[in-house]
Structure 1
Amino acid sequence: MKTSTLALAALFLLPTTTIAAEPTPADFGAAFCKGGIDNDMSAIEAALTPDLAKVIAEAEAKNAEIQAATPDEKPPLGDGLPWRSWPDYADGCEVGTIAEDAGKTLVEIRYSFTSSPDANYADHLVLIPAATGSDSWQLDDIKLIDGMTLRSVLAGAFEQ
């Protein structure tokens, strides 16, 4: 399983001259869906912008401090990183529309629930071209429902 995760991460990070086809935002969205369904976001974590990686690392460090200080209580990130609007497991995930917005690419991720179709919703990945100058993509944020973002949820998790 680690080998396939590393290969998927390489799809987004290696220059296009080393892979058969250029990865697209839709490919990134599909990898994001696969990671969410499989509960393994390591390939996506390998394709974060440096700034988002720093925000996540800082949030995880704060979370660990809180967990160590109060081991009998659930810390703010006790359900893991908020990769989607709701922590409930969605049994369906597909890539929707792809649009450009202020130099960033928005990839719609549609979550579905077989047993509760009324609970279906969509988030949007915010992608930017990789800093390496290749045609790969990096995740810079996630637009969640209700005007929230991954970054704002992480910041708000530690406000008191």
Structure 2
Amino acid sequence: MKISTLALAALFLLPTTTFAAQFTPAEFGDAFCKGSIDNDMSAIEAALTPDLAKIIAEAEARNAEIQAAAPDEKPPLGDGLPWRSWPDYADGCEVGDITEDAGKTLVEIRYSFASSPDANYADHLVLIPAAAGSDSWQLDDVNLIDDMTLRSILAGAFEQ
């Protein structure tokens, strides 16, 4: 299922404060793919749970401190936020299976590389309803390969 052009445009024009996306999980996945391909995750950042938004803000602040203290060195988040398992640019992205697990909706995001199909992989968005019984969704985490998550990578990025 593809998100409508008008709905996607509306999503990207919203201010970057935490909100709940009024789209189906598949449409949320399409917006995530678009942001990933376009290297602009601002719309997704606007649809984070408050807890994940706080974790990301703290990580970005700590990263900026490290960068300021050692401007000639690459900081822990020098490749940006780890929205996907690998920082390499994937030229393909599509929504795969959508499943339910313990009150959370998992949206498979399939990354592909036209020149290296053997490098293809999949991550999973972890969406939660914005409120009980709501059709609005917020991103609570990203399950990456090798049992890693966006949250675990951010937590470990600044360990000495």
Please state which band the TM-score falls in when normalised by the shorter chain.
Answer: 0.7 to 0.9
Partner of 1:13: 20
Q: CA deviation at 1:6?
A: 1.6
Q: CA deviation at 1:152?
A: 0.3
Cα distance in structure 1, aligned partners of 2:31 and 2:153: 22
Q: Structure 1 residues 27, 8: closer, same or farther in 2, change over 3 A?
A: farther
Partner of 1:68: 68
Cα distance in structure 2, aligned partners of 1:80 and 1:121: 19
Q: CA deviation at 1:46?
A: 0.3
Q: State yes or no: 1:114 paired with 2:114.
A: yes
Specify every segment of 5 or more residues in structure 2 that has no aligned partner in the other structure, as ranges. Answer: 1-8
Match runs of 1:40-55 below 5 Å: 40-55=40-55
Query: For residues 55-87 of structure 1, what are the alpha-carbon distances to aligned partners after superposition, in whole Å with 9 as ceiling and x for unaligned?
Result: 000000100010010011000001100000000
Q: Which amino acid is the alignment partner of residue 124 of structure 1?
A: H
Q: CA deviation at 1:136?
A: 1.1
Q: CA deviation at 1:134?
A: 3.9
Partner of 1:94: 94
Q: CA deviation at 1:123?
A: 0.2
Partner of 1:30: 30
Taking every aligned residue pair, what percent have the same amino acid on both sides?
83
* Aligned Cα root-mean-square deviation (Å): 2.2
Equivalences, count: 151
Q: Secondary structure at the match of 2:23?
A: coil
Specify every segment of 5 or more residues in structure 1 that has no aligned partner in the other structure, as ranges. Answer: 15-21
Q: CA deviation at 1:7?
A: 5.1
**TM-score relative to the length of structure 1:** 0.88
Confirm or deny: 8 A CA contact 2:125 2:143 kept in the other structure.
yes
**TM-score relative to the length of structure 2:** 0.88
Confirm or deny: 8 A CA contact 1:8 1:31 kept in the other structure.
no
Confirm or deny: 8 A CA contact 2:11 2:43 kept in the other structure.
no
Q: Structure 1 residues 46, 4: closer, same or farther in 2, change over 3 A?
A: closer
Match runs of 1:123-142 below 5 Å: 123-131=123-131, 134-142=134-142
